[in-house]
Amino acid sequence: MTETNPRIISRVEMSPADAKWITLKKIKYVDQEGVERLWECAERRTRKSTGVDAVAIFAIIRSKTNAFPPSTVVIEQYRPPIGKVIVELPAGLIDEGESAESTAIRELLEETGYVADKVIEVSPVVVCDPGMTNANMQLVVLNVTLDDQLEFPTPKLEVGEHIITKVIPMSKLKAELEEYARKDFVVDARLSHFASGFALAQELKM
């Protein structure tokens, strides 16, 4: 199949009545001084009874023989809101009845082909951009153990999903993301903050 570069045709204001996935809300609230105030916010319509929209996955990919350094996998995906290919952590919306852990294991397999052998950590529910939206998520850290050399399994993508994976040694994560940004990619803020924190601990030797 011949692939073309995706492109935006039009970008027009829409009413929430015409929107299936997200909506706008006007919030009336009382502030710390007892004054009634207004705030505007965007919300997903897809949140299930779990109360959490999505998970992102930080996979620690290790070799039993130390054939390669501890690495992680990021994905490249075209995102229409930005109109560019975004470099981000594997991620996905949580389905009804699904836990954060099982969503993370499923999405890692679907988007990257890697099979997690251990859930290392599930973060508390955190909020993505709390001045503008109510979007929330949990970060799930998964362990992927490979027998020897790095392997590149085939993702189990759905029809219409276009995702490219890239495995990066953790000690080079920040530098590689900066390299992406110098080309025509844009990096997700949560991934870049993770990488900045990792690099700062290395620099401070803490």
Per DSSP, the three-state class of 24 is strand
By beta-carbon proximity to a copy of itself, the closer residue of 154 and 204 is 204
Query: Least Å distance between CB 105 and a copy of itself?
Result: 18
Please state, in angstroms and rounded to a whole number, the distance separating the CA atoms of residues 139 and 121: 8
Query: Least Å distance between CB 183 and a copy of itself?
Result: 11
Query: Least Å distance between CB 30 and a copy of itself?
Result: 5
By beta-carbon proximity to a copy of itself, the closer residue of 68 and 198 is 198
Rg of the Cα trace of the chain?
19
Please state, in angstroms and rounded to a whole number, the distance separating the CA atoms of residues 53 and 56: 10
Query: Least Å distance between CB 67 and a copy of itself?
Result: 17
Token pair belonging to 131: 């001045």
Query: Least Å distance between CB 146 and a copy of itself?
Result: 17
Angular region, 32: left φ>0, alpha ψ -120 to 50, beta rest: alpha
CB environment 97-106: b (16+ within 10 A), e (fewer): ebbbeebbbb
By beta-carbon proximity to a copy of itself, the closer residue of 23 and 50 is 23
By beta-carbon proximity to a copy of itself, the closer residue of 53 and 114 is 53
Angular region, 113: left φ>0, alpha ψ -120 to 50, beta rest: left
By beta-carbon proximity to a copy of itself, the closer residue of 81 and 97 is 81
